[in-house]
Structure 1
Amino acid sequence: MPRRLRPPRLLAAALLALSTGAAAAQELPALPLEDHTAWQAVGRLNTKGYNRRGMCSGALVAPDLVLTAAHCLAGPDGNPVRPETLHFVAGWLGGEFAGESAVASYEIHPRAYARVTLDIEHDLALVTLATPLDVTPLTLGSALSPPFALVGYHDHRPHRLSARFDCAGARDHRLLRIACPVRPGNSGGPVLAGGPGWRIVGVVAAAAQGDTLAVPVDEWLRERLLRGAPYTSE
């Protein structure tokens, strides 16, 4: 693992909006309460440290594996956080939840920090939970065509899932540009396509002029899941 997980200057503004609470005029609306049980695989990846607490979103892709963004595992100083400071809560809803676990370890995409600073095109990570959860994981997909869906938690509504299921979007070089807004906390949340049988096709990485930049799932992730949880991939 690299000594510092510092994002490059050109990405600082985009990541700032997700990681430090920069203002945003728009946000994902609240997921209707009656739909919450269908999305219990999405949860909060909570971090804690000296005088600091934070959160990202993440999604179960196996009973003991959470897909999130690599930059969610960097502390404010750019150094990797210790696994013992992380905790995942699936389906968090105002004090209730579908499952929770401490984090045993995590694995960052091998190209995310190949040049020390973050390569946003590979801003992916897999978190291994200390205890497998009795929650049905989400499945990976391959169809990168709209409509796209975003599901996760953000700072304006940290105790209830927020979501959109009608987002336009298309490839933007190696990334996906999704025409729906995100806020701090949405980082690491799943981007889905193929509704009504929604499947994960990407991970929220950054905000950009009211849109969302997402990293598509790739062969590293698929191969990693096939080794440990083949039933979660098409």
Structure 2
Amino acid sequence: MLRFLTILALALLAGQAHADSQLKRFKTVDDSRGWEAVGRLDFAGESFCTGALITPSLVLTAAHCLFDIKTQQRHDPSVMTFRAGFRNGHAQAYRNVRRAIVHPEFSINAANKKGRLTRDIALIELDRPVRDGTVIPFDIASSAQNGQQVGVVSYARYRSQAASLQETCSVLAKQGGVLVTSCDVDFGSSGAPIFSMTQGRPKIVSVVSAKAQFQGRKVSVGTELEGQLDRLMALAQSDKRFFKKVEADIPADSLDGLTDTTYVVGTLD
């Protein structure tokens, strides 16, 4: 099996089939049309992440978003707010949070970053479904492949008041439960949906977990959903609120070559 470092190096040297597009800020209603199910997930007005509706009641995001960046303690659902289609102080729908469901094998305190990145997904159950006809939850697609064209919609620092779309970026490598992409992310982009852009309406293939560097080049890391999201959906159908933590069994060499990995939780201005 090829080591991750070799795969990523070959991908970068070979170039990308499609040139990356620039970030496009959603300045108007027309700009954001069709993307209203992506929203900003706020934590007591102190920090935020990005999330996306996958059902009228469930928001998909990154697991590490649900932990206070300073104390590493879980945020109480009572301090969370989801704002679908948030733009310049207004949102298509505001919802409070009933409960937050973290992948049972995720641990914010894990010394092994591989275990964090490969299980870094969570579901937010809203207190009420979003039934606005303009806010249409996104479907999930099978995992993206090496070289595939993808896109991302995210909030981030310096652009916290409106989401931005990067319609074209690429999967540089796929290994050990993560996707490494050329997508442009920054603090606050955690949990942002990475979309397959090739067939009809975009479908979510991953969520942003971290940003990293490879040989001086910025890359982003997304958690693969295949096999992992099904577990969370099963938990969401139960009434359980707390789950036993299980250590993940991650191949030791699955993320060789990535350095300076940084969780991308943003601080509100």
> Tell me, what secondary structure is at the counterpart of 2:33?
helix
Contact 2:157 2:187 in 1 (8 A): yes
Specify every segment of 5 or more residues in structure 2 that has no aligned partner in the other structure, as ranges: 1-21, 238-269
Distance 2:26 2:187 in 1: 17
Quickly say closer, same or farther: Cα 1:85–1:28, change in 2 above 3 A.
same
Deviation at 1:218, TM superposition (A): 2.7
Partner residue, 1:138? 138
The residue correspondences of 1:8-157 to structure 2 (distance < 5 A) are 28-31=23-26, 33=28, 34-48=30-44, 53-75=46-68, 76-113=70-107, 119-134=116-131, 135-145=135-145, 146-157=148-159
Contact 2:82 2:94 in 1 (8 A): yes
Partner residue, 2:192? 189
Distance 2:96 2:169 in 1: 33
Contact 2:27 2:162 in 1 (8 A): no
The residue correspondences of 1:192-203 to structure 2 (distance < 5 A) are 192-195=195-198, 196-203=200-207
What is the aligned residue count? Answer: 200
Distance 1:85 1:228 in 2: 20
RMSD (CA atoms): 2.2
Distance 2:149 2:128 in 1: 34
Structure (1/2) with the larger helix percentage: 1
Instruction: Name which of 171, 174, 186 aligns with 2:174.
Output: 171
> Tell me, what secondary structure is at the counterpart of 2:139?
coil
Distance 1:153 1:181 in 2: 11
> Tell me, what secondary structure is at the counterpart of 1:168?
strand
> Tell me, what secondary structure is at the counterpart of 2:125?
strand
* TM-score computed with the length of structure 2 as normaliser: 0.69
Quickly say closer, same or farther: Cα 1:174–1:102, change in 2 above 3 A.
same
Partner residue, 1:159? 161
Partner residue, 1:208? 212
Specify every segment of 5 or more residues in structure 1 that has no aligned partner in the other structure, as ranges: 1-26, 230-234
> Tell me, what secondary structure is at the counterpart of 1:39?
coil
Quickly say closer, same or farther: Cα 1:132–1:180, change in 2 above 3 A.
same
Larger Rg: 2
Partner residue, 1:5? none
Deviation at 1:223, TM superposition (A): 4.8
* TM-score computed with the length of structure 1 as normaliser: 0.78
User: Deviation digits for residues 57-88 of structure 1, max 9, x if unmatched?
Assistant: 00001111000000000002111111101000
Distance 1:223 1:206 in 2: 22
User: Deviation digits for residues 147-185 of structure 1, max 9, x if unmatched?
Assistant: 111101111111111111110113143210111221111
Contact 1:143 1:194 in 2 (8 A): no
Contact 1:28 1:180 in 2 (8 A): no
Higher alpha-carbon deviation: 169-178 or 87-96: 169-178
